[in-house]
Amino acid sequence: MSYSHEVGERLRRVRVERGLSLQEVERSSGGRWKAAVIGSYERGDRNISATRLLELAEFYDVSPVQVLPGDEPERSGGGDAMTIDLGVLDRFGGRYSLIRRYLETIQMQRGDFNRRVLSVRGEDLRALAVIQECTPAELVDELRRNGILGTEDGPVAADGSL
């Protein structure tokens, strides 16, 4: 993978983890970061200077290490998969209806319709947190309290990292 594409993937990951669309980046930056330009950086269609890359990392409020190519920063915590008890989730009804819809999409992609539990990865957890308008750590705590969340290989770190 080229340097530009790797930087672009990291930039997209950080933006999505923050729950921002390209248009929201442009709006919240007061137009400093144009949606079309950020999109071209993320696709690897346009090279980004080191200065602009560091400025964008600062805008996203992340360490520059998170957007620079190289080894992935290590995450703390246990494994990278958690299980959601779909039966328990369904008992809560409307509170988790958007989460349920997202999980149904995962089930359709996997062709996995007959199971009572569904494994989700870290990226899915972050997306679910955005849907619920909270942090991943807050969502993990809430799902655990309600008996909805388990893990495949141990507890999730207190900060919600996997």
Written as one letter, the residue type at 103 is L
Could you give all domains of the chain from N- to C-terminal order, each with its CATH number?
A: 3-66 (1.10.260.40), 81-151 (1.10.10.1930)
Tell me how far apart the alpha carbons of residues 38 and 98 are, in angstroms, rounded to a whole number: 28
Structure tokens at 44: 């690897």
> Residues 90-148: pLDDT tens digits?
898 888 888 888 888 888 777 776 678 888 877 788 878 888 888 888 888 899 999 99
Structure tokens at 91: 């008992």
pLDDT number for residue 25: 95
Q: What mean pLDDT do residues 1-7 have?
A: 81
Tell me how far apart the alpha carbons of residues 37 and 58 are, in angstroms, rounded to a whole number: 17
Q: How would DSSP label each residue in 6-31?
A: HHHHHHHHHHHHTT--HHHHHHHTTT
Element (H, E) at 3: helix 3-17
Tell me how far apart the alpha carbons of residues 77 and 149 are, in angstroms, rounded to a whole number: 16
